[in-house]
Structure 1
């Protein structure tokens, strides 16, 4: 068998060798020189290509510094041609000799033609491109070349602060975490809030079933843009007003993010390799107490609470007795837990692409490998993606395109999101690794079943971790492993029914996505005994989605005359999205090495197996017409009808019209003299409506569920939700007024005013009478406004032969207000005002969505006299017997009397009692101003220095980390801020006394609400392009290197680790700092080589 194999292999090798020699004998070479016909000088970089009889480019090169070229010729029927910008292209000629020289003639007409072709276009994603001068709506576009030197896992990370009215914040600093994108504020309370993503003309978003359980994972793990390699993107456009988003109908109520990928162009194969390598670290953390300071604080807490610490069962953890070596060594440390779970992050990003084509076919193929190690132990991301874009001209009228992309994501996250929160508060005298009874350090994590701080607890209902644990053990041993596979084939066919007049374009796309999340919590991460059900907890979640999108567009672009111009198109869209999910959960597996939930468990078993499915179907029909008269007056009108399966039959379809216009004032005769310096001066206006759909698939059905208990072995069935047949479209009505001013061919200004009103808001949990059997229903009741303005400025300050300086600036203001609230809506959360660390969340008219309410903090009572209650006139309040009344809390239900050293809260109604009547509005997390500015300095055309700043101002953060690290209420470690705490009467400070398990010193108040405003130096880029003449000698077209630093400086008054805190996605829209991984500082080296 082996001999036969070797013999066959030898014959195959000989055949290949003979064929190669035969092919080599057929190859001839043609060479020559390309010069300017007028001055006879060589033309450097002219494109010389060999084409076949169908004008397909077979091979091509660029002329060298002397204008010379050499090309192999494998077929006598091939022809050769030359082209160069600014010269008339030579027609293809036969290759009938070995030396062929060319003389190109300069062409002013061709230069004008190139300028016309390169005029800025805007893209609404539908396949129709419109001259930016004729744009009537609010749209902004950015070239991905401006972002290519930045290190980012997804393109939205690089867009921060670069587009007016587009507010982008990081959900966390962990690898793969998505960005939160808000275009012109939050438009919905319980519907979708993120913009629609459109990739190459088709929707790209994925909807997960509303009842799918991703175990301990949360929304921070799923970034849809992570599936698109930034190096494959050509440009990004954002559609902001209703006139711009009308093309995309119901899902575009929150704006649209249009992404266009790179495609092949005419020319020989071009190979490009790009590499980025990064080093990253976190900003400085909050300084915490060391072991000695912490121990002193605990003793003081006990003393102030009137307790005897020596009688505590955990007293040994603070006695530091050398005669008890086990407790002495394990609890006599100065452990910096946050540093223990923090590390330096590294990143490598490789991208390889090849592109080219001829008159008939053009192609681009790329592959990307991205690997990032997070700055928090236990987090990393690996991504492999590939994309092939092909365009083929079947004939002069028919064009076929296919785009196929594939992404594989392997992501590791933390089992629980509160690891860093626990690291801040973990008792610093505890050792990371365990000492044995002889005082010898072992390699085992020290995870006792219980400490003075308490023990680990896991809620099986909501799959959330509370209590305490060894943070490094949790980060290292606990796992949250996500695997994602996504393949997206798309096919398009374009037919010119009447060339340049009537065109039909059809597209079909399939989006197949699988997400698998496995979690495991071994015993060592919890410290609990092996017999408990929380030990060796395992889960396996599998979500699959299959989405089919179709679109058909009929475009009408007749050529009328110089005075009239019209563009019109009809578009039909359909989508069928089907999702399934399976979830398996079990506890107490037989070993820490058995992490699959299907493994048989031991005695204390808790488990569940659930599945879910969902289907959403939608259709849309759009008619759009744009008319231009005298190149000055432009009007655009559209009407779209949408249908969606998430509504009942009575309200399944919605009609959404829009109208917009543009008056180019600079084209008027009276502006003729000003046109020397005014390139464009236009007024824009638009008005339109768009719709939003509910989050849930089957709200209009009565859904039934098995009851958890049975009678006579028969399980009951009950209805889980009320049938909502009258649920209507959530409608967003938007008006926009804009000004465009372009001056001196180097200054561009856009200014927009807008108002966006959302009516028929989807409200969750509206209260109904209890006899109905439901706790609440979802209904359309409520109105919310977003209004504001945006300004965008770009200028070329210096434009000389060897130096160029470009500046950019954008600024946006948005104001969010709740205008109407249903009387049935529960105006507040159910949190008790009688508890510490609680803020009320109201949905209240005339206040922003996301507002929070609480008490006003006035400082600390320095002595006994300061605790006397005063009336509104400043007089002492006395009791029936003439006795002084001291300030109290929650009288008569609790009746706590404030003491010296306690926190002081404002008595709003001057009744001497701090209770719910003293709760006031404290702030909200919606920024008043967002934006950014930057500069690019280019020297000699090959050296560039650029920087970019981003900023957000006027928003409030509930500093949850500060609450946990300054309350001095238990055994949690505290920040060094508590060193200025009140200790004796007469002390004047803003830090209350330490008191174990008593008092109300950290009620939800403005003490913990801070201004999150910041100015961040988001990027500094130094880039150098090596001389092309030198690189050609090395066989390369170009070589570019760059050094980039990101997030290196942040200017803020916020006392947390970083002020960029995302909106909490739980329906409250609040901004709470819960110690998640902050945005990281990075230094990146980049290299791009083109062949």
Structure 2
């Protein structure tokens, strides 16, 4: 594999070098202009400033860059055109040519640094749709500057955006390298459907998901973390579309919002080579303190005594501690910190080299990057190789052509997880509870340590998969995923009627291949070779191929100075084909044979052979127009028609209208006296977006084989009901917004108030009467879900002079998620509350999606007297025979009588029995408030300090780690919190007694529900730009050194490792549970960025 990848990279690099070194320069002979560009303050020449010729329509005709002395010479086509002079850190100048032939140009320093390039996605020129200035947008759109994220050490764009945009809530799935992020724009908008935003790269949608028909394990969370495929160093701008009127323009896949990414492109001038390097040291945050071997050895006999009334059997070798039994004494006489044993120092290195330039007709941008990260948990790593080539070619004054191609190779190593469901990082949760008196390495019979890991087939903690040696698992078991993605994109733009009618045509081919391989050898589990869990080999392949086309006709008539009008007709199509294969077997002949195709036992329960082949198509047509009058009143109307093959013929097509408006109040005459108001606008929008089911072929009858035979033949039967009447899930969004700019744009504020209602929610597996011959419907429209809230974004420059600039940014959002309607036929509850360790989950009207329910924990019974049941008046309940009644659990089904030292649960109905009637709402995992803020300080355009904080407030998570490390239920190790446990009658504590395999002290209750509110010091970055004199002496255009510290400190009352936990398992009943995943790491990054 390494040889093939090397060859591929070599070939790809040759292609890049060939294309990017090829420039076409048209000859033109009208006039040659000459001049010099200098700094207005220092009078020093400016190297690398761009001088371009623009016509009356602001189209670039030609361009050059200044040399080391700031000099330039440019051949222009017409003296009626103008010169535009710009460079990073200076205010752009526009000069009329006229009769002038020589120019002495002085550029004024602009302290802000990189100019913000506003590409508004669905309304930006690079996307081929309406080209509307940001100040004239009628919808809720936010653009993030490239300079805001360029110094972050982030593997993906979503990680870099975390906390920076109001209304966009981003949480990490895990702290392991290659793990994706969970993105929610204005809350969770669907229950069974995807709430992930649509990703658009350079104007074309990016395929990000696979159908639910094929369970590919953690594909959605990690393997298909689409933003890992776009290198942050290639990004020019990022735009988020939030309200329904904006997202409606992108069709059915955009109901949950749109994240638009525009990559860097070529520029007029001589070739410029850029190089960026970052090196990162990663450190695990403080872990939960666990019992050592001595403390653990005192806990276990106590728990056993409390359950059985007898001492722990002396026959158990794990607790003999007899020096005469050398083997057991050495292997079970230790103080092992298992969490520390699976933890390592994380290191990340990233290199990116780019080539950018162009002539009058051809421009190019190319880059090659390499990213390698070793995680803080042993056995985890992520490697990425990416390449990009963006070409722009002006065929003539009326025809322009673009060709983009990107390639990504990724290689992800994760810890082995038994099964294929999304869940805990199992190896870390095992490490937390692994018995600490056990040795990592095995001692032999004479007491000498061996190089072999100590992995007994079974001990008092059990056997695989319940427990194992986590260090051996991290070392020997493999779980690898390799992705290859190539995306060519071509665009043709033709001016059918110059300055009036433009047509564009885009076609994109996206091939994404992901191969996952895992292997569980015998030495990772210690189980006998004859068992089916030994030498288990799994292989999964997913190939997703999509072809996307987009044809636009844009009409822009000239209606006079006070009137502006643009309209568009857009025709779009998307075809997706998914092919998957899965094979799993076990008992391969050797631990060296790791592929499921090798000889193995085929007659065992571990054998799995699955394939899937699916295809879907969606088409769309958009009509949109915007009219503006006198720079004050703007109106936008649109109508989107979508068709999707996942629906039956009756509802395959649907219409989704949108309307929005903007009133620039500051342009009214009554505002003229308020010269400190630069802009004050009011926006309002109303729109609809549709969503299709995630699975294919729901409107077909699918037939299956009967398992039994008749006359040697299997019969067939229809396995599902044909769903002809399945309707589109529809989001109806309303938005009211305010844009305010004050004091020469020193204060800029955006305020949005919204309400989104999702109706006809697509639910899966609806229970129906068996009289129909079926037990359920695969999909049905039943339910309504609301998301409503507000957002505020504030950007200020409180201080600025010739040397210093101080900026401060702040954003906050409030989203309320409420279920308004749910079908009585839908299975709206999950979880067995009669068992320890489980919570009840309901889909309950007027409560948020993601809510959890359970008992209220009230402490610990200190003595027998306190266990008596009390009625509503506080009197002891008396039985039919006059006897006093003691508190019970789930009478008469279980009928456990609570004992001194047991957990107290609130008896809601005061009947002396803790059962389902005492279950209450405990919380939900949706934060009430979230956002980020931070100041930045810059001095003399060279020194800059940026601080950034993120926060999530008033949301609840279940501390699953606390649950497994304080239950004192089995032979698992526990945290040091149990040192305060109840031991004798009269003890007053909130930590119940230790009871081996007995009691109900860790039921799903408020005991483990914690307020996870936090304020995180997310990053601090110090950067230094070298001065022009020094750069000139070493012949560089730019040189920047920076140091960044990430995840520096977290302020929270949460008792777990990290409070940032998104929704865990996917599906309707997924809730936020801290299952001992790898937390976000503390990172220290040193970086260098240069250009020459």
TM superposition score normalised by structure 2: 0.91
SS in 2 for 1:162: coil
Alignment partners' CA distance in 1, 2:308 and 2:39: 101
Query: Is residue 62 from structure 1 mapped to residue 67 from structure 2 by the alignment?
Result: yes
1:551 is matched with: 550
Query: Structure 1 pair 283/401, CA: closer, same or farther in 2 (3 Å)?
Result: same
Query: Structure 1 pair 446/747, CA: closer, same or farther in 2 (3 Å)?
Result: same
Query: Is residue 422 from structure 1 mapped to residue 456 from structure 2 by the alignment?
Result: no
Query: Structure 1 pair 811/56, CA: closer, same or farther in 2 (3 Å)?
Result: closer
Conserved? CA contact 2:301–2:312, under 8 Å: no
1:859-910 deviation line (CA, Å, top 9, x unaligned): 0000111001010111110011211000001111111111100000000010
Alignment of 1:22-101 (within 5 A): 34=36, 43-45=45-47, 61-64=66-69, 86=93, 88=95
Alignment of 1:454-493 (within 5 A): 454-457=462-465, 467-493=466-492
Conserved? CA contact 1:37–1:104, under 8 Å: no
1:591 is matched with: 590
Alignment partners' CA distance in 2, 1:371 and 1:815: 39
Alignment partners' CA distance in 2, 1:772 and 1:490: 49
2:11 is matched with: none
1:218-239 deviation line (CA, Å, top 9, x unaligned): 7344311101000001010000
Query: Is residue 445 from structure 1 mapped to residue 445 from structure 2 by the alignment?
Result: no
Conserved? CA contact 2:36–2:104, under 8 Å: no
Residue range with higher mean Cα deviation, 219-228 or 415-424: 219-228
Mark the structure with the bigger radius of gyration.
1
2:769 is matched with: 769
Alignment partners' CA distance in 1, 2:725 and 2:105: 69
1:678-736 deviation line (CA, Å, top 9, x unaligned): 00011110011110111101111121223445455433433332211111000100100
Structure 2: runs of 5 or more not aligned: 1-31, 54-59, 76-82, 87-91, 418-424
Alignment partners' CA distance in 1, 2:575 and 2:48: 49
Shift of 1:40: 14
Conserved? CA contact 2:223–2:514, under 8 Å: no
1:229-270 deviation line (CA, Å, top 9, x unaligned): 000010100000111112101111100000000001111101
1:839 is matched with: 839
Shift of 1:90: 7.5
Query: Is residue 123 from structure 1 mapped to residue 121 from structure 2 by the alignment?
Result: yes
Query: Structure 1 pair 732/341, CA: closer, same or farther in 2 (3 Å)?
Result: same
1:1056 is matched with: 1056
2:24 is matched with: none
Conserved? CA contact 2:38–2:46, under 8 Å: no
2:247 is matched with: 245
Conserved? CA contact 2:40–2:106, under 8 Å: no
Conserved? CA contact 1:35–1:41, under 8 Å: no
1:143-194 deviation line (CA, Å, top 9, x unaligned): 1221010001101001011000000000000111111000000000001110
Alignment partners' CA distance in 2, 1:221 and 1:988: 49
Shift of 1:823: 1.1
Query: Structure 1 pair 886/506, CA: closer, same or farther in 2 (3 Å)?
Result: same
Alignment partners' CA distance in 2, 1:865 and 1:901: 12
Query: Structure 1 pair 31/132, CA: closer, same or farther in 2 (3 Å)?
Result: closer
Shift of 1:833: 2.2
Shift of 1:558: 1.7
Shift of 1:86: 3.7
Conserved? CA contact 1:198–1:257, under 8 Å: yes
1:254 is matched with: 256
SS in 2 for 1:724: coil
Conserved? CA contact 1:88–1:104, under 8 Å: no
The size of the alignment, in residue pairs, is: 1026
Query: Is residue 435 from structure 1 mapped to residue 439 from structure 2 by the alignment?
Result: no
1:627 is matched with: 627
SS in 2 for 1:1000: coil
1:919-963 deviation line (CA, Å, top 9, x unaligned): 011100000001000111110111100010000011100111111
Alignment of 1:838-917 (within 5 A): 838-917=838-917
2:225 is matched with: 223
SS in 2 for 1:305: helix
2:753 is matched with: 753
SS in 2 for 1:297: helix
2:28 is matched with: none
Shift of 1:105: 4.7
Query: Structure 1 pair 567/930, CA: closer, same or farther in 2 (3 Å)?
Result: same
Alignment partners' CA distance in 2, 1:354 and 1:414: 38
Query: Structure 1 pair 218/975, CA: closer, same or farther in 2 (3 Å)?
Result: farther
1:464 is matched with: none
Residue range with higher mean Cα deviation, 379-388 or 40-49: 40-49
Shift of 1:837: 0.7
Conserved? CA contact 1:168–1:182, under 8 Å: yes
CA RMSD of aligned residues (A): 2.7
Alignment partners' CA distance in 2, 1:37 and 1:488: 42
Shift of 1:35: 7.6
Alignment of 1:461-860 (within 5 A): 467-602=466-601, 605=604, 606-674=606-674, 676-745=675-744, 746-777=746-777, 778-829=779-830, 831-860=831-860
2:420 is matched with: none
Conserved? CA contact 1:177–1:222, under 8 Å: no
Conserved? CA contact 2:304–2:312, under 8 Å: no
Conserved? CA contact 1:871–1:877, under 8 Å: yes
Query: Structure 1 pair 997/217, CA: closer, same or farther in 2 (3 Å)?
Result: farther
Shift of 1:765: 1.8
Query: Structure 1 pair 141/49, CA: closer, same or farther in 2 (3 Å)?
Result: closer
Residue range with higher mean Cα deviation, 31-40 or 483-492: 31-40
Shift of 1:132: 1.4
Conserved? CA contact 2:456–2:527, under 8 Å: yes
Shift of 1:92: 13
Alignment of 1:290-329 (within 5 A): 290-311=292-313, 315-329=316-330
2:283 is matched with: 281
SS in 2 for 1:752: strand
1:395 is matched with: 396
SS in 1 for 2:472: helix
Query: Structure 1 pair 118/178, CA: closer, same or farther in 2 (3 Å)?
Result: closer
Alignment partners' CA distance in 2, 1:203 and 1:1030: 44
1:357-416 deviation line (CA, Å, top 9, x unaligned): 122111000001000001110110110000000000000000000000000011111111
1:18 is matched with: none
Conserved? CA contact 1:1043–1:1083, under 8 Å: yes
1:23-67 deviation line (CA, Å, top 9, x unaligned): xxxxxxx9998488999977443759999xxx9989865233xx5
Shift of 1:129: 2.9
Shift of 1:1066: 2.9
Query: Structure 1 pair 774/763, CA: closer, same or farther in 2 (3 Å)?
Result: same
Conserved? CA contact 1:37–1:103, under 8 Å: no
Shift of 1:827: 2.3
1:81-135 deviation line (CA, Å, top 9, x unaligned): 9967547487999xxxxxxxx8415599x999xx9x9895633264233111111
Shift of 1:604: 6.5
2:370 is matched with: 369
Query: Structure 1 pair 969/773, CA: closer, same or farther in 2 (3 Å)?
Result: farther
Alignment of 1:181-196 (within 5 A): 181-196=183-198
Alignment partners' CA distance in 1, 2:308 and 2:490: 76
Alignment partners' CA distance in 1, 2:223 and 2:292: 34
Conserved? CA contact 2:39–2:46, under 8 Å: no
Residue range with higher mean Cα deviation, 300-309 or 732-741: 300-309
2:1081 is matched with: 1080
1:565-598 deviation line (CA, Å, top 9, x unaligned): 1111110100000010111111010111110111
